[in-house]
Amino acid sequence: MLVSEIEFQLFDVNQIGRMLGQGEFAHVDRELVRSILESAAELAAHNFSPLAVDIDANEPAMIDGRARVSAALRAALREYADTGYIAESFPRELGGADLPSAAGTALMAIFGAACTPAAGYVFLTAAAGRLIAAFGTAQQKALWLPPMLEGRWFGTMCLSEPQAGSSLLDATTQATALGNGRYSLRGNKMWISGGDHDATENIVHMVLARIVEDGRRSEALSLFIVPRLRPDGTANGVQLLGLNKKLGHRGTTNCALAFGGETDCIGELRGEAGRGLQCMFQMMNEARIGVGTTAAATAWTAYRYASDYAFERRQGRNVTDGSSARLIDHADIRRMLLTQKAIAEGGLALCLFGASLVDQVRTLDPNGSTRARELLDLLTPVIKSWCAERGVEANSLAIQCMGGAGYVRDHPVERLYRDQRLNPIHEGTNGILAIDLIVRKASRGTGLETLFTAIEVEAREALAIEEFVALAEPMISALGLLRQLLVSINNPPGDVRKAYAFATPTALMVGDLTVSWMWLRQVRALADRRDHWADGKRAAALQMVRQIMPQSLALAPAVRDGMGPYADLAAECFAADWAIQ
Amino acid sequence: MLVSEIEFQLFDVNQIGRMLGQGEFAHVDRELVRSILESAAELAAHNFSPLAVDIDANEPAMIDGRARVSAALRAALREYADTGYIAESFPRELGGADLPSAAGTALMAIFGAACTPAAGYVFLTAAAGRLIAAFGTAQQKALWLPPMLEGRWFGTMCLSEPQAGSSLLDATTQATALGNGRYSLRGNKMWISGGDHDATENIVHMVLARIVEDGRRSEALSLFIVPRLRPDGTANGVQLLGLNKKLGHRGTTNCALAFGGETDCIGELRGEAGRGLQCMFQMMNEARIGVGTTAAATAWTAYRYASDYAFERRQGRNVTDGSSARLIDHADIRRMLLTQKAIAEGGLALCLFGASLVDQVRTLDPNGSTRARELLDLLTPVIKSWCAERGVEANSLAIQCMGGAGYVRDHPVERLYRDQRLNPIHEGTNGILAIDLIVRKASRGTGLETLFTAIEVEAREALAIEEFVALAEPMISALGLLRQLLVSINNPPGDVRKAYAFATPTALMVGDLTVSWMWLRQVRALADRRDHWADGKRAAALQMVRQIMPQSLALAPAVRDGMGPYADLAAECFAADWAIQ
């Protein structure tokens, strides 16, 4: 069960039990967390897993100007909300259960493993709600949060525009002040997940726009609460322009929206004017842990199916005695399953560790809290991009294990492969997150040292214990390599071109090292446990350190040697030849 | 244009001009090859490329027991056949043009780049026809070949069965002798590409089955010619059981077929009884070069689109001066495009080199011919599996370059990504081809030395030339590493478990080294040419050697250190935990 894996991660590896029953989490104990996870797993298995095939094969359509979802999806989301899951990690005064973030992330893993495209609607609603809870006025919280946390209204994030995908600074949507904190919005938004649907009576959009005053557009972006229907139930000038037809993740509508038109579109400023991006980044950080979690969960589900198939399917002969074999008896299949395990469970460990840092920021003393915040800040881009990048590999291996059967729609692994491919793209492309880590964060203050030191302390401890040397040694080497690399990448100082050019491969190295650390933590938490499950964990840890991490580290010489052709050559040299001849 | 890239590969790199205008190819000159390639490119652009969206979105359906294809697909295939392309590389006495195999492979690249799922039908027909040409009796050639080469009848290969996917030795389809070389077939076949359709009046299946005599099934497999309709036009007991619904490659029907049932199914034995696998392997070797070629072509087409988009799409700022940028101005995009170029053009070079070896086997003196045959034998599994494996990476990068636009069906890169994912699976999974190379071929005679020596000779020559040192040095190192590895992998001698366990990563190393060699050959063929195109080639060669090859070589220590957990642990250790708790 995924629940027992998660319990191991939460309580044995991350020891979240230490913060329960006291202080911020006086109202939570291990039994409560376990019972919530177990009933979530039940709801996920009964209401969400069965949706996956249908909402993929029959993707929501645009009918009479609205996106229509299936009755089954609507009912599942209704039950999710009614059970109180949207509100789980909101403060109790807002109607929530104030669960630790680690437990909330565990819930995401459970529903993500069952059907991420269905769960996307409620995940986005919780994220949008958290923005209002963090930055809204008392009036805004009272007006918008109750229907969102009850799941009567869902939420979205409206950042990108047709001409401004990753480049949010180029957003042109305008907000003209009407007084009393109210604004008239006008502009088009693109790639809006859950941007329209008929699953709920209303949709509350968090919209990034520029305030226009006296005909002058503000340089900075502000954040607005813009409902599809005004609180009095009348239309608010948000028009669905079209649905994007996607490779995967089809159950979550993805929309082009027009704000303002025949009907005025009225929004409320949330937080300070001109601080929209900062507010949004807070939400996006959370969303990034969420994407990482669903990426790990998507890899895990495919791994589960591939493993199941490998035990069932008889094919070929055993190498040693020529007897009839199952797929699982072939070394090449074992290699592929172990790689999937290393990625899926390593990714899950990383996400739950990241979430437990969110809790540490709240519960630790000021020193501990600061350290946790620094570490979380560094890990956020790693969590999203590593789980997505390696997740695509894991999902591809799930197909490969199953051969032709993995390539047909009779089995879920082809769908999960399509779903997973979204994750390196949304919530900040992996390339942009790599720049965030390797250009921005690495050059600020002590750079990545907070992370490296945390890894080094545990790796050096492990080095003293015979059993862990094979894991710890390559980690110590990787640390040395990465520290050198981050110096050479920023050389000459002030010239960021090299860091930009090699951010992606370098960020993957940081991710591989970080997940190796997560595996060391898991293996140490096994203590003396000796059974198939524990032995499998130990094998996957070695797979991570010896067969996954070396692949990214192998690019160190190329990174160190310099810009190579990226800076020196004309753009045309990178073109497919047809374009230039 | 792809044609100019191919001309460079054929004439400048592989110098096929040397064998034209004399001996076997006295009837062919460069002008003829160029004009065939150019008219093929025109037909591909006008009749095949436009099909790609429709045959993917509206995949062939089973109606009244038959697979139905669109009129447009039927017309395109008709024109392909009418132009004589199926017959191009058949001997002239069979109605062909007896073109060099290198030119035939170039044709596959052109049509594969336009729409592999459409071209699949005619590629399979040529492959099946070649089997009859090689092993059939005079009577069989006279009966079956003319309608196949004219494209009135299409061909298939029927190897796999529901219980025997990769494990052909477990095939149970039976053939009972009726006298006069005729047999009654009974059994089910699975994964049959082009197994049913209504594009032609008849379909000729090449069926692997066991001869039953006096109630005893033969150990060895034999090969039979089994038409859907008998030559007199009556039904021959081949029933379509169902169509496989695939992730991609949707335009090519993929079928479960029943042979024999209410109507008797009559087939002719082709070649010797009991030599079916050997005959089939000859065809499969050719099919593998074909799969490699379409894999490279699929990567190339996606690269072309991504490159195009990168030049068109404005997004973000230039790092150096903050001015508005195109995607192509970002180093991370350049890195991704260059990797695609290295894979797509490197893969194409490998396939055309392999095909030119087929021609060398025919045209060189006995020594040269033997050497070419040995090299071809080693390269065949590399060609198919490398182009497929790295092709999936390239197609994924094409999506990543385009961001959200790459993930939606408005652009072809998501479809090409789905199409490409088939290639590591069919015509021998990559895992099985790796075992063929690293277990069987590496332990026979001089093992991989024919290949390694060929690479070493050119790498050492290049080492003496300043300009090529950066390419040649890592190749020499890789050669040393691989030679050691192949010794240690077969240690202790006779114990094949380690070779089975690490065949896949080791085969990828061999592939990366081989394609690095292909890049060295390309760069040397550029001579003093200095323009964007030539500079792009040089940059891609460095990308191959310094940023792709090191990733596979990085697994050398893990391979050398031994079996790791694959042999020692119980199967249950590799299971997703839910299965064992």
Select from B311, B496, B539 the Cβ nearest to the Cβ of A579.
B311
B75, B259 contact by CB (below 8 A): no
Contacts of A576 in chain B (CB under 8 A): 300, 303-304, 307-308, 341
What does residue B236 show for φ and ψ, rounded to 5 degrees?
Answer: -120, 30
Mean pLDDT of all residues belonging to chain A: 95
pLDDT at residue A70 greater than cutoff 50: yes
> Model confidence at B196, in pLDDT bands (50, 70, 90)?
very high
Higher-scoring residue by pLDDT: A252, B95: A252
Select from B1, B497, B547 the Cβ nearest to the Cβ of A555.
B547
**Chains A & B: contacts with CB separation below 8 Å:** 320
Closest CA to A251 of A296, A190, A197, A298: A197
SS3 label, residue A296: helix
pLDDT at residue A545 greater than cutoff 90: yes
Q: Are B551 and A547 inside 8 Å of each other by CB?
A: no
Q: What percent of chain A has pLDDT over 90?
A: 88
Most B CBs within 10 Å, among A407, A555, A578, to test the B interface: A407
Most A CBs within 10 Å, among B332, B395, B396, to test the A interface: B332
Q: Over range A501-517, report the average pLDDT.
A: 97
* pLDDT 10s digits, A172-186: 999 999 998 899 999
pTM assigned to the model:
0.98
What is the 3-state secondary structure of B319-376?
Answer: CCCCCEEEHHHCHHHHHHHHHHHHHHHHHHHHHHHHHHHHHHHHHCCHHHHHHHHHHH
> Model confidence at A577, in pLDDT bands (50, 70, 90)?
low
Report the pLDDT value the prediction gives residue A283, as an integer from 0 to 100: 74
What does residue B576 show for φ and ψ, rounded to 5 degrees?
Answer: -60, 140
State the greatest distance between any 2 C-alpha atoms of chain A, in Å, as a whole number.
84
SS3 label, residue A155: strand
Select from A167, A307, A577 the Cβ nearest to the Cβ of B576.
A307
Class of the CATH-defined domain B2-149: mainly alpha
Alpha helix stretches (DSSP H) within B364-412: 366-402
What does residue B555 show for φ and ψ, rounded to 5 degrees?
Answer: -85, 0
Query: Which part of chain B is CATH 2.40.110.20?
Result: 155-274
C-alpha distances out from residue B515 to A247, A407, B57, B382, B467, Å? 31, 27, 34, 10, 19
Torsion angle of the four alpha carbons B50, B51, B56, B58, in this order, in degrees rounded to the nearest 10: 120
Closest CA to A554 of B552, B502, B469: B552
A194, A203 contact by CB (below 8 A): yes
Q: Over range B158-186, report the average pLDDT.
A: 94
Distance from CA of A533 to the nearest CA of B (A): 6
Which residues lie closer than 8 Å to B418 by C-beta, 6 or more apart?
Answer: A247, A418, B247, B248, B249
Distance from CA of A512 to the nearest CA of B (A): 14
Distance from CA of B466 to the nearest CA of A (A): 17
Closest CA to A113 of A283, A293, A376: A293
> Model confidence at A579, in pLDDT bands (50, 70, 90)?
very low
DSSP state of B445: T
Most B CBs within 10 Å, among A5, A53, A393, A577, to test the B interface: A577
Rounded distance, CA B392 to CA B142, Å?
41
Select from A422, A500, A565 the Cβ nearest to the Cβ of B319.
A500
Sign of CA dihedral A72, A76, A77, A79: positive
B306, B398 contact by CB (below 8 A): yes
First to last CA, chain A: 57
State which residue of chain B sits closest to A580, comparing Cα positions: B533
Contacts of B505 in chain A (CB under 8 A): 547
Report the pLDDT value the prediction gives residue A399, as an integer from 0 to 100: 98
Sign of CA dihedral B344, B346, B348, B350: negative
> Model confidence at B523, in pLDDT bands (50, 70, 90)?
very high
Select from A407, A505, A567 the Cβ nearest to the Cβ of B247.
A407
Q: Are B310 and A574 inside 8 Å of each other by CB?
A: yes
Report the pLDDT value the prediction gives residue A565, as an integer from 0 to 100: 66
Q: Are A316 and B547 inside 8 Å of each other by CB?
A: no
Rounded distance, CA B218 to CA B221, Å?
7
* pLDDT 10s digits, B211-267: 998 888 888 999 999 999 999 999 999 999 999 999 999 999 999 999 998 899 999
Distance from CA of A142 to the nearest CA of B (A): 35
B98, B91 contact by CB (below 8 A): yes
Select from A2, A435, A574 the Cβ nearest to the Cβ of B334.
A574
B566, A543 contact by CB (below 8 A): no
pLDDT at residue A560 greater than cutoff 80: yes
Report the pLDDT value the prediction gives residue A437, as an integer from 0 to 100: 97
B154, B199 contact by CB (below 8 A): yes
Rounded distance, CA B213 to CA B345, Å?
51
Which residues lie closer than 8 Å to A32 by C-beta, 6 or more apart?
Answer: none
Q: What percent of chain A has pLDDT over 70?
A: 98
A192, A274 contact by CB (below 8 A): no
pLDDT at residue A282 greater than cutoff 80: no
Report the pLDDT value the prediction gives residue A581, as an integer from 0 to 100: 36
* pLDDT 10s digits, B388-398: 999 999 999 99
Q: Are A577 and B547 inside 8 Å of each other by CB?
A: no
Tokens of B135: 């092993």
C-alpha distances out from residue A20 to A28, A535, B267, B363, Å? 6, 30, 74, 79
Query: Which part of chain B is CATH 1.10.540.10?
Result: 2-149
Report the pLDDT value the prediction gives residue A578, as an integer from 0 to 100: 47
Contacts of B403 in chain A (CB under 8 A): 165-166, 425, 429
Q: Over range B72-94, report the average pLDDT.
A: 95
CATH number (2.40.110.20, 1.10.287.3510, 1.20.950.20, 3.40.50.360) of A155-275 reads 2.40.110.20
Q: Over range A321-328, report the average pLDDT.
A: 95
C-alpha distances out from residue B172 to B163, B218, B239, B426, Å? 9, 10, 17, 20
Q: Over range A382-396, report the average pLDDT.
A: 98
Closest CA to B194 of B185, B181, B179, B204: B204
Select from A244, A399, A575 the Cβ nearest to the Cβ of B408.
A244
Select from A300, A304, A566 the Cβ nearest to the Cβ of B335.
A566
Distance from CA of A332 to the nearest CA of B (A): 6
What does residue A192 show for φ and ψ, rounded to 5 degrees?
Answer: -90, 105
Query: Which residue, chain included where needed, has tokens 């589960």?
Result: A304
Residue A66's CB is within 10 A of a number of other CB atoms, namely: 13
A361, A336 contact by CB (below 8 A): no
* A271 Rama sector, left if φ>0, alpha if ψ -120 to 50, beta otherwise: left
Which residues lie closer than 8 Å to B12 by C-beta, 6 or more apart?
Answer: B525
Distance from CA of B458 to the nearest CA of A (A): 23
Q: Are A539 and B404 inside 8 Å of each other by CB?
A: no
Report the pLDDT value the prediction gives residue B577, as an integer from 0 to 100: 63
* pLDDT 10s digits, B10-23: 999 999 999 999 99
Contacts of A409 in chain B (CB under 8 A): 245-247
State which residue of chain A sits closest to B503, comparing Cα positions: A332
Contacts of A422 in chain B (CB under 8 A): 407
Q: Over range A310-314, report the average pLDDT.
A: 96
Higher-scoring residue by pLDDT: B119, A286: B119
What does residue A342 show for φ and ψ, rounded to 5 degrees?
Answer: -60, -40
Q: Are A409 and B246 inside 8 Å of each other by CB?
A: yes
State which residue of chain B sits closest to A243, comparing Cα positions: B408
Q: Are A555 and B576 inside 8 Å of each other by CB?
A: no
Class of the CATH-defined domain B155-274: mainly beta
Tokens of A84: 């109180």
Q: Over range A99-117, report the average pLDDT.
A: 97
* pLDDT 10s digits, B261-287: 889 999 999 989 999 998 888 777 778
Report the pLDDT value the prediction gives residue A262, as an integer from 0 to 100: 87
SS3 label, residue B213: strand
C-alpha distances out from residue B475 to B339, B344, B453, B469, B541, Å? 18, 20, 12, 10, 12
Contacts of A245 in chain B (CB under 8 A): 408-410
Select from A167, A300, A550 the Cβ nearest to the Cβ of B554.
A550
State which residue of chain B sits closest to A309, comparing Cα positions: B575
A560 CB burial (10 A radius; 0-12, 13-18, 19+):
middle
Q: Are B500 and A331 inside 8 Å of each other by CB?
A: yes
Q: Are A539 and B326 inside 8 Å of each other by CB?
A: no
